[in-house]
Amino acid sequence: MGELVLVPTPIGNLEDITLRAINTLKNADLILAEDTRVTKKLLNHLQIQKNVQSFHIHNEHKVLNNVISQIASNTLTVLVSDAGTPAISDPGFLLVRACIEQGIDVSCLPGPTAFVPALVASGFPTDRFAFEGFLPHKKGRQTKFKQIAEEDRTVILYESPHRLVKALEQIVEFMGEDRRVCVVREISKIYEEFKRGTALEVKSYYEINPPKGEIVIIIEGKN
């Protein structure tokens, strides 16, 4: 019976990859990748030549049974996402669950995850927090913001650049303009940015300075 190992990959600086992750990639019989082009770019940087197969949110249901068979017949199969830890707001959960149900060993290496450095450097309490990932674009979005407004723990959201101002507008609407937030952009990259302040202040800033890159929003819990 084979083994599945989830391997976190850098979210920015390629030097963030661990030695253990590199060795695991080198020893893999098969690498399952969210975007094979992104993964092959990393592998080329590491001078690793491996069989890379596509496994992403649009095909995971379709290819799941076939992938399970391959994992069972291999010694070591690795799952990676484009950046960060697989299955955190990325494909992976269905595969992990299916492997466990089939008696296949599953493990995950420690490594990069965008929300951890964002949370730790936000200045908000880190002892208790709620990770919400990406909120629905339309249906259920307002309901979710109303629930978050009553949360007394620090709340973590992922957001796309073109929806950031809208998200900040909704924070102002449902939580008040004085609710403190921290928007973290391009973690571990050249243009890494932490913008801290009230929801209104941060919204006003990004209305003038359109954001780019990967974004994490940290929201202070309700006092």
pLDDT tens profile 107-154: 999 999 999 999 999 999 999 999 999 999 888 999 999 999 999 999
**pLDDT the model gives residue 89:** 86
Dist. CA 70–CA 114, nearest whole Å: 30
What single-letter amino acid sits at 222?
K
| pLDDT tens digits, one per residue of 4-60 | 999 999 999 999 999 999 999 999 999 999 999 999 999 999 999 999 999 987 777
Flag whether pLDDT at 94 surpasses 80: yes
* DSSP class of 214: -
> Pick from 56, 49, 53, 2: which is nearest to 30 by CA?
53
**Which residue segments constitute the domains of the chain, with CATH numbers given?**
3-108 (3.40.1010.10), 115-219 (3.30.950.10)
> Pick from 77, 66, 68, 58: which is nearest to 100 by CA?
68
The residue behind tokens 């004085």 is: 178
pTM of the model: 0.91
